[in-house]
Structure 1
Amino acid sequence: MSGVRAGRWLIAVPMAILALATIYPLVFTTNVAMKTRHEYILDRFSPAGALRWENVASAWGNAGMAGYFVNSLIVVSCAVALLLLFGSMAGFALSKLRFRGSRLLFLGILAALFIPFQVIMVPLARTMADAGLIDTYPGLVLAYVAQFLPFTIFLMTSFYAGIPDEIIDAARIDGNTLYGVYRRIMLPMGTPALLSVGILNTLFCWNDVLISLVMMPSAENRTLMVGVTALRGQYSDDIPTFAAGVLIAALPVLLIYLFFQRQIADGITAGSTKG
């Protein structure tokens, strides 16, 4: 019994330390965002005297965070929708349809997972510029789809491969076309993986800085994370306002995790056990 308790403590203590290390930056940022500039200069680590939302309102309105938030919302929503559509269709085709070169195509997609964006940044920017897509919503959406589609296809292919072929055959015998099998069978059964990969892609796109910085050079089209980066230089002498901007950018990600943590865990588990 003592050995079991010791084992539990060996797991609990590092997890508690990791949790504190993860939570502390958020608590510190929130505390700084509630301070006045004078309070921050006097003691940056002391608790704020009161909950002051003036810095948040200033970052949201005066610093342009509201516009950046809308830009991110539009781009991320469109990109994730396309990623789920193309990823689920490609996953179905690569896992259940037998065609020449399918194995080679899947290996090529796996290889694309190991290519960092920095390698393709210059040719992608030139291609987008030639197509007139620089500094446009469609251009950034396409860049996100191109960057994160291999990961989406890989996860959906692994998940769909665990669905018995007999289900597909029974649906075809009942008169379903391939599109009918995809819409009536694969999409409903793939909901856990779709939800999981959708949330992960949302976090990837929302937290991105480099791709957005390359594709959206103008200030009015910045996404939220690029806006926060620019805010650091604009408000270098007003750290509480900058902290309020960071808090605005982090809040959607935090809410997604709080509300969908069970779905994320269930989706990842389902995808790993059915592959």
Structure 2
Amino acid sequence: MSGRRLGRWVAAVPMAALALATIYPMVFTVNVAMKTRREYILDRFSPASSLQMNNISEAWNSVGMARYFANSVIVVACAVILLLLIGSMAGFALSQLRFRGSKLLFLGILAALFVPFQVIMVPLARVMADTGLIDTYPGLVLAYVAQFLPFTVFLMTSHYRTIPAEIIHAARIDGNTTYGVYRRIMIPLGAPALLSVGILDTLFCWNDVLIALVMMPSAEHRTLMIGVTSLRGQYSDDIPTFASGVLIAAIPVLLLYLFLQRQIADGVTAGSTKG
């Protein structure tokens, strides 16, 4: 066996094992969701005898997953829009505009990336309670923006720094104001990074449990992930229904990746080269 062929096998075997370890949990969840309770008790690993949607219908209608799904869509959409708007503006300012304290501000944003939510959880909850934002959509949206904005600003700043300064100077010579440069130059050139960061922020907000649990104590305003965790206690003896809830929560993220995987890859590599 040639050295090149051996090298391919050395790389292919671990990657195949990694792919299998990633795909198997989803396949197992789908299989369990298609089973009846009796089938699962008798043999949890055997293939389902037939494709049954009763468990998914039960989780969607009886448990209130439809309401939780709508809550998540509203909150995540608003949070991601604000994150991209503020993050792209801040990234443009920190990368292309020169002002006093910009480097120190960027270092502060980098430092905020290392602060876990558990550290600021109690102060944030008290501030939100004092301002009447606990158990409200705007309160959860602001909490998501505060938590994930440093990450968004960091990536957008890194991407915008790869844009040659000559493009900015040429746009100013043409008569564009700072806002004109941002709208006509930075947004189009930053579109791949905005898409990539937007998808990552969507995943972060969609999969969050802790922040939503602190900000949304009432059952009416629960997000989808909190609803899924509550299924574990409510249906501890009905694992197929619980698996159906997990499947409902995972399908939007899976579809997002399947349809936008090329854009994700382009966005990730968009800022890797200069010029």
The aligned amino acid for 1:143 is: A
In 1, Cα distance between the equivalents of 2:252 and 2:274?
31
Letter in 2 for 1:167: I
Matched, 1:169 2:169: yes
Q: What residue in structure 2 maps to residue 97 of structure 1?
A: 97
Residue 269 of structure 2 aligns with which residue?
Answer: 269
TM-score by length of 2: 0.99
| Separation (CA, whole Å) in 2 of partners of 1:181 and 1:159 | 16
TM-score, normalised relative to structure 1:
0.99
1:108 aligned partner: 108
User: Could you tell me how far apart the structure 2 residues matched to 1:32 and 1:97 are?
Assistant: 54
Cα distance in 1, alignment partners of residues 231 and 175 from structure 2: 58
Contact persistence 1:159–1:274 (CA under 8 A): no
Question: For 2:99, what is the secondary structure of its paired residue?
Answer: coil
1:254 matched to which residue of 2?
A: 254
Identity of aligned residues (%): 82
- Count matched residues: 275
Residue equivalent to 1:80: 80
Residue 271 of structure 1 deviates from its aligned partner by 2.2
Residues 1-275 of structure 1 aligned to structure 2 (within 5 Å): 2-274=2-274
Q: Which runs of 5+ in 1 are unaligned?
A: none
Q: CA deviation at 1:270?
A: 1.1
**Structure 1: distance between partners of 2:184 and 2:123:** 40
1:220 to partner: Cα distance: 1.0
Letter paired with 2:55: N
* Structure 1 letter corresponding to 2:193: A
How far apart are the structure 2 equivalents of 1:271 and 1:138?
32
Gaps of 5+ in 2: none
- Distance between the aligned counterparts of 2:231 and 2:64, measured in 1? 9
Superposition deviation, residue 262 in structure 1:
1.1
Post-superposition shift, 1:106? 0.3
Alpha-carbon separation, structure 1, partners of 2:141 and 2:91: 21
Shift of 1:3: 0.4
Deviation at 1:273, TM superposition (A): 2.6
Cα displacement (A) at 1:26: 0.4
What is the distance in 2 between the residues matched to 1:274 and 1:211? 37
User: What do the CA deviations read for 1:151-192 (whole angstroms, capped 9, x no partner)?
Assistant: 000000000011011111111111111000000000000001
Structure 1 stretches of 4+ moved >6 Å: none
Q: Deviations over 1:129-165 (max 9, x none)?
A: 0000000000000000000000000000000011011
